């Protein structure tokens, strides 16, 4: 079923939102809305994105009718900023639990995986006034029925409906996701949010290869700290603290 503004107005009750059948990126719209003073929890939703953005400048594909693409505006304290990513990935993981998925994990830092394949990505983008944090736009894309057959992503990406053998309404998925986000917002900045996120990570103890801004690191994914940084024990005995990067399993 297509998403529509009247249907979303009914389901989202008093939450401020904008819905676009087609947009370049919900992130861009939400970033401007934040700068214009959007209220906390305001959300931008699109059926299709023409220039969806992923981490590290990558493209995020959102074909029409088959995915959930949202950007939610939040105003965390600056000390809790690093937990916004955790909140996003955890909210998605818990929403998917609620659909009966049994093998949901988080691949550091913020890819939500089902059966070891990426089902969702999270993109937090902060807005600053000098050194003052104005707010954050938390972007989330979930593959609902994106068909990856015969594409370069077939080996690594997956969608909810074919994976779980169910049909779901994107509007209801959105409502469930927003409820999980609201519940986790109360925990933002706490050890409980960190622990719940950490318990879902599927790479701790694994041999990994990490590409970060300083190059390649090979070693064991030993731990994550409360800011979400990954601690890698390299083969030469050194401990690396990495705040952003891409991981591949194996050496």
Residue 31 phi, psi dihedral angles, 5° rounding: -60, -40
Tell me which residue of 92, 81, 88 sits closest to 127, measured CA to CA: 81
Judged by CB under 6 A, the chain residues 181 through 240 that form the site for ligand BTN are: none
CB of 6 to ligand BTN, least distance (A): 22
Stretch of 19-27, 75-83, 211-219, 221-229 lying at the interface with ligand BTN (CB under 6 A): 19-27
Nearest approach, Cβ of residue 156 and ligand BTN (Å): 11
Candidates 133-141, 169-177, 233-241, 243-251: pick the segment binding ligand BTN (CB under 6 A). 133-141
Mark residues 52-71: x for contact with ligand BTN by CB under 6 A, - for none: xxxx--x-x-x------xxx
* Six-digit token string for 72: 């939610």
Contacts of 211 (CB under 8 A, 6+ apart): 245, 246, 248
Neighbours of 176 (CB within 10 A): 17
Largest alpha-carbon pair distance within the chain? 59
Q: How far apart are CA 245 and CA 191, in angstroms?
A: 23
Q: Are 69 and 61 in contact (CB under 8 A)?
A: no
Residue 143 touches ligand BTN, criterion: CB under 6 A: no
List of residues contacting ligand BTN (CB under 6 A):
25-27, 49, 52-55, 58, 60, 62, 69-71, 111, 121-123, 139-141
């Amino acid at each position: 079923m297509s998403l529509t503004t009247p249907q979303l107005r009914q389901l989202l009750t008093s939450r401020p939102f904008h819905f676009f059948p087609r947009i370049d990126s919900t992130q861009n719209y939400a970033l401007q809305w934040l700068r214009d003073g959007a209220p906390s929890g305001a959300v931008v939703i699109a059926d299709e994105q023409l220039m969806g953005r992923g981490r590290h400048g990558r493209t995020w594909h959102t074909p029409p009718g088959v995915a959930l693409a949202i950007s939610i505006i939040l105003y965390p304290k600056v000390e809790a900023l690093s937990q916004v990513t955790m909140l996003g990935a955890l909210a998605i993981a818990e929403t998917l639990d609620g659909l009966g998925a049994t093998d949901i994990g988080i691949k550091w830092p913020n890819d939500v995986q089902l059966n070891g394949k990426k089902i969702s990505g999270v993109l937090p983008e902060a807005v600053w006034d000098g050194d003052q944090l104005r707010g954050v736009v938390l972007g989330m894309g979930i593959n609902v029925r994106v068909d990856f057959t015969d594409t370069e992503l077939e080996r690594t990406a997956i969608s909810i409906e074919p994976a779980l053998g169910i049909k779901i309404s994107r509007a209801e998925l959105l409502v469930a996701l927003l409820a999980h986000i609201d519940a986790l917002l109360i925990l933002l900045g706490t050890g409980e949010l960190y622990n719940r996120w950490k318990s879902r990570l599927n790479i701790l103890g694994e041999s990994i290869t990490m590409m970060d801004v300083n190059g390649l690191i090979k070693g064991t994914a030993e731990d994550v700290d409360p800011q979400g940084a990954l601690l890698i024990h390299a083969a030469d005995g050194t401990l690396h603290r990495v705040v952003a990067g891409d991981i591949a399993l194996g050496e």
